Chain A
Amino acid sequence: MTASLDDAALIERVVGGDHDAFTALMRRHQDRIFSVCLRMMGSRAAALDATQETFLTLYRKASQYRAGAAVGTWLYRIAINTCYDLLRRERRRPTEPIPDYLDPADPTAADPFTSVELAAPIAAALATLSADFRSVVVLSDIEGFSLPEVAERLDLPIGTVKSRLFRARRQLAAELGNLSGGPGHQSLTDEL
């Protein structure tokens, strides 16, 4: 029954301590949140941790949800902030995460092996970006949100989003060129 309720109604029930409503909400959003966390964190294990922390935060802060706002947008914001926190903690206590390309291939991809091969240099290049830049690139270019949607999810002015996006793409271009030994931003697709 809870599965048929919209996000706002589910949140209302979560505030009342309804675990079923919370589970329904989680099932609805978990893949998208995991995807963002994976691109932000760089490994599936870390992404799973971040996704878990995101939903626990959602549960704890459910009472702060303002009716009328989109739950999905709010959830993305929590996820990105969770990733920032985890990345900060990781920086203080450096570990060696298993790179994404060593994780099991995405079983849903049409051609998992091609997808994984392509992801390796991109994941490595993404990892060189600061968390602020990475979040903009992930939401805009990988997850496909429009600039106003990215601004809303990151709670940033749209001008800041444009500026970060421009600089992040430039840095990625340079990184991808360097990774393949090629010259900067020239012929990126050829290099990959």
Chain B
Amino acid sequence: MSRMNHDAHDLELLAALASEHEPDRIAAETLISECAECRALFEEQLQLRSLLADVGSAQMTESERSQLLTAVTSALPVPIRRKTETKPLSPIWGRMMAAAAALAVVVGVGATIASQQGSGNSATTSLAADAAAPEFAVGGATSSERASTAAASPTTAAAATLAQADAKGDLNRLKAEAEALADDSAPEEDASVSCAAETEDLQIRERGGSFYQGRQVLLLLVEDDGELSPRAFFLDDCTEIALP
């Protein structure tokens, strides 16, 4: 091999030989034995390698180790909660719930007495059951009130259909409200999460309250496998409402 051919030489072999990479040894040794420029480059590679090897690995100091441990462990996510903590009802909610329950009992007893006296009909019971609804009503009649009223009217079938449509609309409203929780920067409403936490592992991101069919509803925005989805539960018996 002549000096003239140096540009065509495989110079990577020189780096490999300097790194003691066995598969390239024979080819690289041939190269440096026959080309003076390659030999000089190989010497340079060897010198650099030896110089850098002297630098060697660095070690952390004890304070760096403890700094690292603190920083990393404090940044780790909290292990997944198996159960969400139950938050007690606020005094206001408690009083409202107690008042609603008392009213329902009073109206229920009245309805039973009325039916025993033979003056009752199915409409009375229905009205009695709905009587507690206004306690929760916000901004006018609830869909269940409208449904009851419609059922008592002569155009029963049409009214029932209308009420169902209303109910669907309310469900959509509930879902929209729950989804809006994700963007809501206002302080969380005070609502119990005990219903949802009883049986499931929910990762609750936001929660709030609303009304549906005259009943208090707990709205949750829960995370499941990284996806947020709205859920709604009746607060009085913890049954889940199927959102559209």
Contacts and interface: CB of A to CB of B under 8 A. Distances in A.
B68 A108 contact: no
Given A56-B75, A141-B53, A166-B14, A172 B68 contact: no
Contacts of B15: 162-163, 165-166, 169
B201 to A, nearest CB: 13
Contact of B76 (A59, A163, A172): A59
A188 B50 CA distance: 11
A146 B55 contact: no
Contacts of B41: 170
Interface range on chain B (Cβ under 8 Å from partner): 35 or more
B56 A141 contact: no
Contacts of A122: 51-52, 55
Contacts, number: 123
Contact of B44 (A118, A142, A147, A170): A170
A166 B11 contact: yes
Interface string B32-47: 0000000001001101
Contacts of A159: 12
A17 B80 contact: yes
Contacts of A19: 73, 76, 79
A32 B50 CA distance: 20
State the main secondary structure of chain A at its contact with B: helix
Nearest to B54: A118
Contacts of B19: 140-141, 146-147, 165
Interface string A148-192: 000000000001001101100110110010000000010011001
Given A52-B71, A122-B55, A173-B44, 11 more contacts: A22-B76, A34-B60, A34-B64, A47-B58, A56-B72, A147-B21, A162-B13, A162-B21, A163-B12, A166-B12, A173-B47
Interface of A: 17, 19, 22-23, 26, 30-32, 34-35, 38-39, 44, 47-48, 51-52, 55-56, 59, 104, 106-108, 115, 118-119, 122, 137, 140-144, 146-147, 159, 162-163, 165-166, 169-170, 172-173, 176, 185, 188-189, 192
Interface of B: 11-16, 18-21, 24, 41, 44-45, 47-61, 64-65, 67-69, 71-73, 75-76, 79-80
30 contacts: A19-B76, A23-B69, A23-B73, A30-B65, A34-B59, A35-B57, A35-B58, A35-B59, A39-B55, A44-B64, A52-B72, A137-B52, A140-B19, A142-B52, A142-B53, A143-B57, A144-B53, A144-B57, A146-B21, A147-B19, A159-B12, A163-B15, A165-B15, A165-B19, A166-B12, A169-B45, A170-B41, A170-B44, A176-B51, A185-B47
Top-5 shortest CB links A-B: A166-B15, A141-B52, A162-B12, A35-B57, A169-B48
